[in-house]
Structure 1
């Protein structure tokens, strides 16, 4: 699942160099090492390609990054979030918890760098918000601080210690980092489109792409949480307005 946490990692990676190549794992690789996917591989390929900091996408990228792979694409180094974890190695249909690091080879070669993880967002957390049907994630304002975590939802989905609260506090600086910092020029044909853009997906991307093709400058309006909830009800929006803003700003067509 592609979310603004991934976009922020991609943004940081692009700042480390001149040309950014992003490898995206296949559904089979993800099921093997992590579990079921939320978006299928074609959707994820398209979502990553639409991120404005990405120069090239490598489909079906292997889970283990090697020096050979970096050399194949003339890459100087690879980047991962500083939350990198150990994984299980599958051998002869047996799972061995040997703590193997899938970036061990490139680390030893001195061709590995890390970027800061975006605190408070993960695929597990977003799925948890949908399943728990809470509303607290969009009742917070920009001065509010979350009090509970859903990071253990995957292991204990019924735990009373989990909630759908977002841990991410949007700041003006983060908005600026995601923005194009561009103003429409005199004579530009300005196109306006609005929506909730909740759980930003390939349907949203296609809409923004087609809208941008109609003019020179695309302006996107994002409905606030109260409006979305009044229209859709339940625990919608799944992502609060600040999170949805970052998702839209990361799209290359905006």
Structure 2
């Protein structure tokens, strides 16, 4: 196999290898909360975290085509709160000279098997050197699962009420105890993703908002609703402007990330003009406990049914819990409101727990045709701001799905290879369809939460998919 990886790491080597500097690497193709779960666990093992991101060419050689480009994948990694530095074009098979070059003592990976195009362990060299640590893989999510949802157009991943799900009042399971255990595990994971840059202390505030269906799904009805705090975090500091953004944030990607980054950038520029970064102002904040940025960004996230009402098919591809975890891990977000209304009215905005926001931002991307302007409230209040076009403005859930469908044969082959690892590399005769069923059909069907038309007793390996 031809190796497209660079032979040597670029730049000057680190002066020493540090015990507290951790390395983790991967494809990070349309970055999801499974990636973030491995990253935060790795960050907890040290004080610095370097992320190696493989090139498009190396991934194609070893795994199959990528959905996102290297630059899009790097943007997602760089936006993760727990990442110290990203390293593009890192080798697919982790090399000792690379991690040593960046001063990293240990490599961290999830407890799943990762092999190169020749079927060999990608971490064989660092394992042999005793410089490998294992963290738990985030269950029930992978790039393969998400592609499966797109190809099968399923809705079984939707969550009716995230708040009730976390409380153990609804969910999957054959008993009340199982449902409660699932909710508790989901709540604990949310708490982890809401931690600060150390991965150990409270960081992002988490709230739920509830109101009538009409107020949630698209009406400009002036309804305050009710806010309930789920997780405490670091609230706004003196002088910080509270900024509100909202959206579906489906398949959280470079388009969403660049929008959020530009919101923070716009607020920093405004603060600069008003003297926020003057030496006296900085010293005053430091003297009172430490410096901090000028903006406190609150992200409102819409329910699954609200998004589906407007976009249809099986959108959102990620449910509200999965989308929320992606937003929580983003370094540009300080607070999250689950169940936010599609139209942020004056009544809603003036009832926010942090007070009326100083600004409401919206980006240049539009993932659905609208019959009315959902931002009449903040516009009438004089607090509406627009983020202009940028290089990732066209990247959203719709375009990602289009990329998958445009090259469906290639992605199905990639999925088939992944599926055969699970079900033993065989096709099976389906008694209902009366024809051989490829392993990938069984795999993505099970991954999407659908019971296949094949007796699972015949294929015990399939049960491991979930």
TM range (shorter): 0.7 to 0.9
Say which of 114, 117, 140 aligns to 1:88. Answer: 117
Which 4+ residue blocks in structure 1 deviate beyond 6 angstroms?
none
Identify the range of structure 1 (62-71 vs 39-48) with the bigger mean alpha-carbon deviation.
62-71
- Aligned equivalents of 1:182 and 1:190: distance in 2? 13
Aligned residue number for residue 172 of structure 2: 145
CA displacement 1:152-203 (0-9 Å, x = unmatched) = xxxxxxxxxxxxxxxx866222222111221112332100000000000101
Aligned residue number for residue 311 of structure 2: 232
Aligned residue number for residue 117 of structure 1: 137
CA drift at 1:146: 7.3
- What is the DSSP-based 3-state SS (H/G/I as helix, E as strand, rest coil) of the residue aligned with 1:212? helix
Aligned residue number for residue 245 of structure 1: 324
Instruction: Count matched residues.
Output: 225
CA drift at 1:86: 3.2
Say which of 225, 241, 251 aligns to 1:199. Answer: 251
Q: Which runs of 5+ in 2 are unaligned?
A: 1-28, 175-181, 195-202, 204-232, 268-293, 334-466
Say which of 175, 193, 200 aligns to 2:190. Answer: 175
- Aligned equivalents of 2:81 and 2:61: distance in 1? 29
Residue 35 (structure 2) pairs with residue 6 (structure 1):
yes
Residue 56 (structure 2) pairs with residue 36 (structure 1):
no
Q: Is the 8 A contact 1:209 1:253 kept in 2?
A: yes
Q: Is the 8 A contact 1:191 1:212 kept in 2?
A: no
- Aligned equivalents of 1:60 and 1:146: distance in 2? 42
CA drift at 1:23: 0.2
Bigger relative contact order, structure 1 or 2 (CA pairs below 8 A, ≥6 apart): 1
- What is the DSSP-based 3-state SS (H/G/I as helix, E as strand, rest coil) of the residue aligned with 2:126? helix
CA drift at 1:45: 0.9
Q: Is the 8 A contact 2:155 2:314 kept in 1?
A: yes
- What is the DSSP-based 3-state SS (H/G/I as helix, E as strand, rest coil) of the residue aligned with 1:228? helix
- What is the DSSP-based 3-state SS (H/G/I as helix, E as strand, rest coil) of the residue aligned with 1:83? coil
- Aligned equivalents of 2:246 and 2:156: distance in 1? 24
Using the size of structure 1 for normalisation, the TM-score is 0.84
Aligned residue number for residue 124 of structure 2: 104
Using the size of structure 2 for normalisation, the TM-score is 0.47
- Aligned equivalents of 2:117 and 2:65: distance in 1? 16
- Aligned equivalents of 1:235 and 1:139: distance in 2? 13
Residues 1:240 and 1:199: Cα distance change in structure 2 (over 3 Å): same
- Aligned equivalents of 1:173 and 1:102: distance in 2? 31
Say which of 128, 137, 154 aligns to 1:134. Answer: 154
CA displacement 1:4-40 (0-9 Å, x = unmatched) = 1001100000001111000000000000000010111
- Aligned equivalents of 1:21 and 1:139: distance in 2? 34
Aligned residue number for residue 219 of structure 1: 298
Residue 98 (structure 2) pairs with residue 69 (structure 1):
yes
Residues 1:229 and 1:121: Cα distance change in structure 2 (over 3 Å): same
Residues 1:119 and 1:20: Cα distance change in structure 2 (over 3 Å): same
Say which of 45, 48, 51 aligns to 2:74. Answer: 45
Identify the range of structure 1 (27-36 vs 185-194) with the bigger mean alpha-carbon deviation.
185-194
Larger of the two Rg values belongs to structure: 2
